[in-house]
Amino acid sequence: MSGNPTLERIARGNALALCATGSWTARFAPMLERMVADAEKLGGTRPNIFIDASQVSKLDTFGAWLIERLRRSLTQGGVEGEIAGLSANYSSLVDEVRRVKAEPIVETDRVTITGMLEQIGRTVAGVGGTLIGLIDMLGAVLAAAAHVLIRPRGFRLTSTIHHLEQVCWRAVPIVVLITFLIGCIISQQGIFHFRKFGADIFVVDMLGVLVLREIGVLLVAIMVAGRSGSAYTAELGSMKMREEIDALRTMGFDPIEVLILPRMLALVLALPILAFLGAMAALYGGGLVAWLYGGVEPEAFLLRLRDAISIDHFVVGMIKAPVMAAVIGIVACVEGLSVQGSAESLGQHTTSSVVKGIFFVIVMDGLFAIFFASIGM
């Protein structure tokens, strides 16, 4: 039976024999390493030290390497380091590890302050690159769209419908539920605070303007960025990882036209629909709370809503929706196509797709606010 390994020192005349016994295997690697480190210090103390491995009951790569390491350090210490008594099987294993060059390999990446500063610098410099990448993708998508307009047979209807189902139809329940709840909350908070001034009824104005102009579309856009933008990035990213996109390209297809255009189109169609449904759900929820909590009768609510809201508010919301969809789609596709070979990279790009998507949606919303204010809508 194989027991614990040992390395005994036996003096034989002028020479010293290091007798290895027991099982020199991976299981005992930590113990073996300590023993070999101790024995290495013997280098240079005697003119002749050899390693006797005839008592080794079991040997694997770990043991063979450690014996070889010991031999090397003894030889370096100026003694004739020899390995004796190896059985034929084990000596071929030792021969195998003898070919190993033991140059220490230095790991390159270290965390240093300059390294971190460099990282920050690169990230900031990368912002410009991100913007150019987005504009690049926008251009490519528009070019593909123009190409499809000229040659409508290249349009992928099935794919577009499929993506429309994924991003629009399947998103309806969650979008309606969340916007309904937000409508309820806005209404409740409005009534609670406006009541102090006896201005309960103005909650209808607030709800109408807020939901139709801002919250409806903004909230839905954020949900879509989290739900569909991330899905686009993950799909395109894993296709990139498995060289599927390269395969498409070599077959003479334009990945933008085949993969990205249908996704973009589905998103641009879906977001206004979802924003509309979301706005309706939020108004419904707000009206319900106004009635049950604030005592505003539905007739009074509708009458007030008609006075407070003009078609402009609704139009503003609907104009914003497709633009935000385009921004989300472009960000998601750019991130998807920048995925490198590893699972980690896929995760990073999916995260940054959602983060950047939401960021750009909010920036766009701000720009739209300035724009509509200056044209008086």
Partner 1 sequence: MAGEISDAIIRVRDITVQFGKTRVLDGLNLDVKRGEILGFVGPSGAGKSVLTRTIIGLVPKIAGSIEVFGVDLDAASAAERRGVERRWGILFQQGALFSSLTVRQNIQFPVREYLKVSQRLLDEIMVAKLGMVGLRPEVADRYPSELSGGMIKRVALARALALDPELVFLDEPTSGLDPIGAGDFDELVRTLQRTLGLTVFMVTHDLDSLYTACDRIAVLGNGKIIAAGSIADMQASQHPWLRQYFHGKRARAVMG
Q: Which residues bind partner 1 (CB under 8 A)?
A: 25-27, 29-30, 33, 60-62, 65-66, 69, 89-90, 92-93, 96-97, 99-105, 107-108, 241, 340-345
Q: How many CB atoms lie within 10 A of CB 119?
A: 11
How far apart are CB 65 and partner 1 at their closest, in Å? Answer: 5
Judged by beta carbon, residue 237 or residue 262, the one nearer partner 1 is 237
Cβ distance 327 to 268 under 8 Å? Answer: no
Judged by beta carbon, residue 71 or residue 313, the one nearer partner 1 is 71
Distance from C-alpha of 35 to C-alpha of 21, rounded to nearest angstrom: 12
Q: Is 318 left (phi over 0), alpha (psi -120 to 50) or beta?
A: alpha
Judged by beta carbon, residue 60 or residue 82, the one nearer partner 1 is 60
Judged by beta carbon, residue 37 or residue 181, the one nearer partner 1 is 37
Cβ distance 221 to 325 under 8 Å? Answer: yes
Nearest CA-CA partner of 255 in 153, 156, 151:
156
How far apart are CB 223 and partner 1 at their closest, in Å? Answer: 29
- Per DSSP, the residues of 325-344 read HHHHHHHHHHHHHT--SSHH
Nearest CA-CA partner of 47 in 72, 75, 20, 71:
75
Nearest CA-CA partner of 326 in 162, 141, 171, 126:
141
How far apart are CB 70 and partner 1 at their closest, in Å? Answer: 12
Q: How many CB atoms lie within 10 A of CB 38?
A: 11
How far apart are CB 77 and partner 1 at their closest, in Å? Answer: 18
How far apart are CB 192 and partner 1 at their closest, in Å? Answer: 50
The residue written with tokens 């106004």 in the block is 290
How far apart are CB 349 and partner 1 at their closest, in Å? Answer: 13
Rounded CA Rg of the chain: 36
Judged by beta carbon, residue 14 or residue 108, the one nearer partner 1 is 108
> What does the block give as tokens for 216?
């409806």
Judged by beta carbon, residue 3 or residue 295, the one nearer partner 1 is 3
How far apart are CB 25 and partner 1 at their closest, in Å? Answer: 7
How far apart are CB 333 and partner 1 at their closest, in Å? Answer: 21
Distance from C-alpha of 225 to C-alpha of 236, rounded to nearest angstrom: 15
Judged by beta carbon, residue 55 or residue 340, the one nearer partner 1 is 340
Name the H helices within 79-211. 88-98, 113-150, 157-167, 172-194, 203-209
Q: How many CB atoms lie within 10 A of CB 348?
A: 16
Judged by beta carbon, residue 33 or residue 38, the one nearer partner 1 is 33
Judged by beta carbon, residue 3 or residue 139, the one nearer partner 1 is 3
- Per DSSP, the residues of 168-189 read TGGGHHHHHHHHHHHHHHHHHH
Distance from C-alpha of 191 to C-alpha of 187, rounded to nearest angstrom: 6
How far apart are CB 9 and partner 1 at their closest, in Å? Answer: 22
